[in-house]
Amino acid sequence: MIVLIVEDSSDLRSLFARVLQRRGFRVYEASNGREALACLLEVKPDVILTDVMMPEMDGIELIRHLRSRPSTAEIPVVVMTAAESDEVKREARRLGAADVLAKPLEPRTLLERVNDVRR
């Protein structure tokens, strides 16, 4: 299974990547939504994990782009956010996010949610 992690914190990206790779996932990384869209020209992930607050293109805008393209419209997206706002969570779900997780994340929770959305 292929997972694309979109997160502006290199430390969190590395942590999430290690957790998933140890369980046999192939992982690609992007530091913002623009990099993620560029990555999608070369790889089609089974799941995308995205932060909300990132420079250049945030996670909400990324989901809008994904859903507007037939080639990416059906890829499950799990949103990870430290935002306290329910508005952000509602908007992510309205746009089709498969799940919204509050940061900080426990590795076990991350693995469970990725496994849940790929089924």
Q: What is the CATH number of the domain that holds 43?
A: 3.40.50.2300
DSSP calls for 60-89: HHHHHHHHHSTTTTTS-EEEEE----HHHH
Structure tokens at 36: 């993620």
Residue with the larger pLDDT of the pair 87 and 46: 46
Structure tokens at 63: 């989901």
Q: Tell me the percentage of the chain whose pLDDT exceeds 90.
A: 82
96 phi-psi bin (left φ>0, alpha ψ -120 to 50, beta other): left
6-31: average pLDDT: 96
pLDDT higher than 80, residue 119: no
pLDDT of residue 89: 86
For residue 28, what are the domain limits?
Answer: 2-117
Number of domains in the chain: 1
Q: What is the mean pLDDT of the chain?
A: 93
Is-above-0.75 flag for pTM? yes
pLDDT higher than 90, residue 82: no
pLDDT of residue 103: 87
pLDDT of residue 96: 92
pLDDT of 36-75, one tens digit each?
Answer: 999 999 999 999 999 999 999 999 999 999 999 999 999 9
Per the CB < 8 A criterion, the answer to whether 27 and 21 are in contact is yes
